[in-house]
A and B are shown apart, each in its own frame.
Chain A
Amino acid sequence: MQFEFSDEQQELRDSVRRFFERECPVTAVRAVIDAGTGYDPALWRKVGDGAFLATAIPEEYGGIGAGYLELCVVAEECGRVLAPLPTLSAIYQVAEYLMIAGSEAQKRRWLPRIAAAEAIGALALNEGVGEMRADRVAARVSGGRLIGEKLPVADGMAADFAIVAARDEAETLGFYLVELDAPGVAREAVETLDPSRGHARIVFSGAEAEPLGKGDRGWTLVEEIRDRAAVPAAFEQVGGADRALADARDYALGRYAFGRPIASFQAIKHMLADVYVANELARSNAYYGAWALSAGSDKLSLAAASARVAATAAFQRASASNIQVHGGMGFTWEYDCHLYYRRSAYLALALGGPSLWEDRLIEFRRAAAA
């Protein structure tokens, strides 16, 4: 038993942190928001050069093949700097769809390009308002052509291809690879809570659709990969929550009122202590998730749900408290507080919202207790 990252993983963290501090200052995040590009192509290419996000992709497909603990380390650092990168879509999900369900040819075609940041894959499940379930998939594939509308699709504008949930002529739900520059695809950027990670509406009108793998995987694949993605996503949330806490702390130490730093008032001290506690509980749950993911444990579903619920709560609390500590300045566009608040909202809802994960958490705790 060992409940910490190894020395080598800590060294990786240090070097990745230095990289992101240099290459992804908050001005870079703001530039993405101002330009409306939805991600930072230059940063994405540099990440590809360092293969930071390819740690869990096997070497034979162009990755590092180091594993998921390393991916979690990198994810936390991405979260800390609010990296405007397609991590949840391309890395935590689409790469997993390919590795778990893709054909050999599909893996060879796309995984090396994702690993090198030469291609972005998006995941197109959602079809409008409401929790995404199998019975809400209306997109349809007939004769290898896809018709339907997907909204919202994370990184849908930046992506080269998408994995799309759709039904075939026999009403069977499946997953299809669709290239997004092909005919029969129309896409537009949509306004979301967090413009540093762009989203799109994609309308498919007869686009060419290739079944993922043998085309025999149903909705359980979505749940399986969501469990896997929830763990690095939780690390992004933990990283963001820690940064929001540090931001609040720094401001409280520097801001004077009533003749003293506001950090000396118990109202502020106790608020930040509670943020710290929530962050630590989230971190500990996330560590368990990282282990379960990396070890291929049968406890992954429980661990992922625990990590996800705790990390969502922590980041939401930390980012809201950060605004509160900043007072009126926290409500301005100029100060960075809203960037963390927006990112916490995006990460809370991506992969399904908090109540979905609360429900799964209890389902799996019940199973563990039985």
Chain B
Amino acid sequence: MNFDDTPEEAVFRAKARQWIADNAPHELDAELRASTEGKLRLTSVDPLVAARDWQRRKSEAGWATPHWPVEYGGGGLNSIQRVIWSEEEGLYAKLSQHFLIGVGMCGPTMMAWASEGQKRERLPKLSSGEEIWCQLFSEPAAGSDLAGIRTRAVRDGDDWVINGQKIWTSYAREARWGLLITRTDPTVAKHSGLTMFFLDMRSPGVEVRPIRQMNNEASFNEVFFTDVRIPDAQRLGAPGQGWEVALTTLMNERATLAGRVDTGFDELLDFCERLETGSNRRAIDDARVRSRLAQFAIRDSGLRFTAFRSISALSRGAQPGPENSIGKLVSAVVEQDMAQFALDLEGEAGLLADPALASDRGRFQSILLRSPSMRIAGGSDEILRNIIAERVLGLPADIRADKDVAFEDIPTAATAQRG
């Protein structure tokens, strides 16, 4: 047990810190500080340009995907060095969000399932930010029940022909490549008839439509496929093996989300230090406020140290396991609770959502309206609790009405109506 650096780690940290001091876009510091997790508030520069620029600079020095093998664009760092790097990157990690899905989920899936040539061709460009990736998994009728997807892939010569629709796809507009799960055989049980591909998003027949969300932004998209052709060479795993491939992605998704555990607690604490609640009185002076803050604080520090424990396990060769579901489950709820709490402290003016009028440029209002998505995306709270209950605690799986039923015979709302 040692939370301090060894002498070698201290040398490494100093090197990382020096490189960041020499290379980071310090001119963006104020804007990055004002950005909440998940939303870049850059006005002086196009956020995507700034993000790509930082990613490319990191890539040239080996910091972009520091834990990847060098031949795929990595820096060959070990897990502990990766923690040190991410601690040092700090504020500038907010510039990485366009690349998170690629680096955290699509990249590891490619590494496990693509051919050597494909890996050497695609992964360095993914790592450097030249090519953004998206994850084409969820569908209108298949969210938590992901294996119930209906997008069809039909073999035609050396190609597969894709028809269907995906939804809740982050960065689909910016993405050059997508990881696509399809149904290739509806006559077998639902998990058995799936096949995974990677898709050039510029292929004819791919149409991306932004979704206007409840917070009046459009970070998610719908993606429609009309007779889209994918070469068979871009299939990952065997036909019918798609669920197994998807599990690689989902497990890494949890590990990725678990690794990013900035709950925003420090900003809330700072807010309570500054917020006047009376003459010569700040919110932080109120024992009730401190009590609530303390319950947030243990989640904040608990997630951070839980991630450290996971990384210790990974550094000894363990695979990212179901226990990593904790990170997102806790942080999504904490973010929402903290936003509600901060707004309560603002009185009726907590309603103000105009950044020019609201306190902290509307930080907590923005989080409040965004936070419901965090509790659904990447595995809903309920799915994550099921995973913990079943895979960690060993409790029985839910009783299912679709077990061992051919996919095409599974009841839906439509068949129920027909009686």
Q: Residues on A close to B: CB < 8 A?
A: 1-6, 9, 69, 245, 249, 252-253, 260-261, 263-264, 266, 268-270, 272-274, 276-277, 280-282, 284-285, 287-288, 290-292, 294-295, 297, 305-306, 309-310, 313, 355, 357-359, 361-362, 365-366, 369
Residue of B nearest to A259 (CB): B399
The answer to whether B1 and A280 have CB atoms under 8 Å apart is no
Counting CB contacts under 8 A, is B337 at the interface?
no
Known interface pairs A252-B395, A269-B385; A4-B284 also in contact (CB < 8 Å): no
Chain B residues contacting A361 (CB-CB under 8 Å) are: 294, 297-298
The answer to whether B297 and A287 have CB atoms under 8 Å apart is no
Q: Residues on B close to A: CB < 8 A?
A: 1-6, 9, 80, 83-84, 266, 269-270, 273, 284, 287, 290-291, 293-295, 297-299, 301-306, 308-309, 311-313, 323, 326, 329-330, 382, 384-386, 388-390, 392-399
A-B contact pairs, 7 of them (CB 8 A): A1-B6, A6-B1, A249-B394, A273-B392, A281-B306, A288-B3, A362-B290
Complex Cα–Cα for A1 and B303 (A):
17
Chain A residues contacting B80 (CB-CB under 8 Å) are: 1
Partner of B309, one of A245, A287, A290: A287
Complex Cα–Cα for A25 and B43 (A):
65
Number of A-B contacts (CB under 8 A): 164
Known A281-B302, A362-B294; 13 more pairs at CB < 8 Å: A1-B2, A2-B1, A6-B1, A249-B393, A270-B389, A272-B389, A273-B393, A281-B298, A285-B298, A288-B305, A291-B1, A313-B298, A359-B287
The answer to whether A306 and B290 have CB atoms under 8 Å apart is no
Complex Cα–Cα for A288 and B309 (A):
10
The answer to whether A282 and B302 have CB atoms under 8 Å apart is yes
Complex Cα–Cα for A287 and B302 (A):
10
Chain A residues contacting B269 (CB-CB under 8 Å) are: 362, 365-366, 369
Partner of B1, one of A260, A281, A287, A362: A287
Chain B residues contacting A4 (CB-CB under 8 Å) are: 1, 309, 312-313
Known interface pairs A1-B83, A274-B385, A280-B306; A362-B293 also in contact (CB < 8 Å): yes
The answer to whether B1 and A269 have CB atoms under 8 Å apart is no
Chain B residues contacting A274 (CB-CB under 8 Å) are: 385
- The majority secondary structure among interface residues of chain A is helix
The answer to whether A260 and B395 have CB atoms under 8 Å apart is no
The answer to whether B297 and A365 have CB atoms under 8 Å apart is yes
Complex Cα–Cα for A270 and B382 (A):
8
Complex Cα–Cα for A274 and B393 (A):
11
Chain B residues contacting A272 (CB-CB under 8 Å) are: 389, 393, 395
Known interface pairs A272-B389, A280-B323, A281-B302; A249-B308 also in contact (CB < 8 Å): no
Partner of A264, one of B6, B392, B395: B395
Known interface pairs A1-B6, A3-B311, A358-B291; A285-B305 also in contact (CB < 8 Å): yes
Chain A residues contacting B293 (CB-CB under 8 Å) are: 358, 362, 365
Chain A residues contacting B388 (CB-CB under 8 Å) are: 273, 276-277
Chain A residues contacting B6 (CB-CB under 8 Å) are: 1
